[in-house]
Amino acid sequence: MKPIRFYYEFASPYSYISMMRIEELTAQHGIEVIYQPFLIGPLFKDVGWETSPFLIYEAKGKNFFRDIVREAEHYGLPPLQILDEFPQRGLRAARVALLGMAEGWGVAFSKAVYRRQFQQGLPIIGESDVKAVMSETGIENVNEVYEQAQGEENKGRLFEIVNEAKALGLYGAPSFVVGDELFWGNDRLTRAISYAQRD
Amino acid sequence: MKPIRFYYEFASPYSYISMMRIEELTAQHGIEVIYQPFLIGPLFKDVGWETSPFLIYEAKGKNFFRDIVREAEHYGLPPLQILDEFPQRGLRAARVALLGMAEGWGVAFSKAVYRRQFQQGLPIIGESDVKAVMSETGIENVNEVYEQAQGEENKGRLFEIVNEAKALGLYGAPSFVVGDELFWGNDRLTRAISYAQRD
């Protein structure tokens, strides 16, 4: 049984849907998930996109905003909320999530970030937004932990994960890396799980 | 029960997979399929792409060539063949397919074009390629029918379908239009079918 490296971006609605599905789906088969909060922006910049391709390509973007609403409904999630400011820059939250992965609360925090954005329709960009989610997650010493997360060492770790993602050939979010195979998109989560179970 | 307008492009492996699935899936529910062979090239040109985005974006393309092989396997199709010359320009074949839709052999011909390209690994671009598929499909008077398909009237009809596709907001292939809803990609075929069954 191979572990699944799950790369997710807080701005990405499809990453959100995968986050809400992956625990149950993998637990059924005893598959380990390595949660990798990361940033898709630097990868988009490498191909010349300064923002989301859903904003750059009009027809694609228009359908995207319909599709994510339909997909959230399909997976039994609450009506999807999209903020006027899309995409929501999730840099600060990603740093906190990464720190949380080492401390055992990273998944709970990440889910709460997604719920805030896509279920409650509240921003996740600012320091106060991120701290509100931290409090909600039950993290003690919110201010100290937040400072540590935004510190040089943790920033460097997130930077490394983004570079690893590039080296692995990622180009979108969510992505799933299983052994040498890369699977892109929430639509490929079940494929990644099937592949993880192969000998 | 709403009909499904199925837009497919001969160069597209995901369109091929949908073509091999759609008859059985829709017949189960008595849903009508309106087959629309079309060309994705003019839509790509509108956003500045002179060829397939899978050739323009390196990481995306690399994963695409893995993904289509895995997806063909997932859907129980023979090992996927990709020609060195990718994408295969399907203009001549699309014109013949369109003519065939009015004459009752369009679906059989389209499936045979896809089998030739993606199962047998043979080109579909040239006149002789298209005529070989026409003969295989059992079309009589191959030369006459081919000339009619490449004639001004039929060329104009294909051009209209491409323009309709643009107006409907299409930006990729395959696409499924059901009522006012657009579904993009083989991954959305079952969603389109569910939607077609809604009141």
Compute the count of residue pairs across chains A and B with CB atoms less than 8 Å apart: 47
Instruction: List the CATH code of the domain at B4-196.
Output: 3.40.30.10
Nearest to B169 among A43, A59, A184 (CB): A59
Give A30→chain B minimum CA distance, Å. Answer: 22
Given this model, what pLDDT does residue A46 score?
85
Given this model, what pLDDT does residue B96 score?
98
Give B162→chain A minimum CA distance, Å. Answer: 14
Is the confidence at residue B20, as pLDDT, over 90? Answer: yes
What is the average per-residue pLDDT within B84-103? 96
Residues of A with Cβ-Cβ distance to B57 under 8 angstroms? 47, 171
B interface test, pick of A57, A166, A178, A194 with most B CB neighbours within 10 Å: A57
**Residues B161-195: pLDDT tens digits?**
999 999 999 999 999 999 999 999 999 999 999 99
Is the confidence at residue B199, as pLDDT, over 80? Answer: no
Q: Is B62–A184 a contact, with Cβ atoms under 8 angstroms apart?
A: no
Looking at chain B, the whole-number percentage of residues with pLDDT higher than 70 is 100
Q: Chain A residue with minimal CA distance to B48?
A: A57
Nearest to B171 among A47, A59, A169 (CB): A59
Instruction: Compute CA A186 distance to the chain's CA centroid, rounded to the nearest angstrom.
Output: 11
Q: Is B191–A74 a contact, with Cβ atoms under 8 angstroms apart?
A: yes
Given this model, what pLDDT does residue A47 score?
82
d(CA A41, CA A162): 9
Coil, strand or helix at A58: helix
This prediction's pTM: 0.94
Give B48→chain A minimum CA distance, Å. Answer: 10
Given this model, what pLDDT does residue B63 score?
95
Given this model, what pLDDT does residue A53 score?
83
Q: Per DSSP, what are the bridge partners of residue A4? A: A33
d(CA A71, CA A174): 14
Tokens 């943790």 label which residue? A154
Given this model, what pLDDT does residue A50 score?
85
Looking at chain B, the whole-number percentage of residues with pLDDT higher than 90 is 90
Given this model, what pLDDT does residue B76 score?
98
**Residues B42-86: pLDDT tens digits?**
998 888 888 888 888 888 999 999 999 999 999 999 999 999 999
CB A90 within 8 A of CB A124: yes
Q: Is A59–B191 a contact, with Cβ atoms under 8 angstroms apart?
A: no
d(CA B170, CA B185): 11
CB A26 within 8 A of CB A118: no
Q: Is A67–B187 a contact, with Cβ atoms under 8 angstroms apart?
A: no
Residues of B with Cβ-Cβ distance to A40 under 8 angstroms? none
Q: Chain B residue with minimal CA distance to A182?
A: B63
What is the average per-residue pLDDT within B105-127? 98
DSSP state of A119: I
The angle that helices B106-114 and B127-137 make with each other, rounded to 10 degrees, is: 120
Q: Is A182–B63 a contact, with Cβ atoms under 8 angstroms apart?
A: yes
Given this model, what pLDDT does residue A84 score?
95
Q: Using 50, 70 and 90 to split pLDDT, how confident is the model at B158?
A: very high
Domain parsing of chain A, residue ranges: 4-196
Nearest to B59 among A59, A63, A170 (CB): A170
Helix boundaries (H) for chain B: 13-27, 41-46, 53-56, 58-74, 91-103, 106-114, 127-137, 142-149, 152-167, 189-197
Largest CA distance in chain A: 46
Q: Is B170–A67 a contact, with Cβ atoms under 8 angstroms apart?
A: no
Give A194→chain B minimum CA distance, Å. Answer: 10
Residues lower than pLDDT 50 in chain A: none
Which of B74-83 are b and which e, b meaning 16 or more Cβ less than 10 Å from the residue's Cβ? Answer: eeebeebbbe
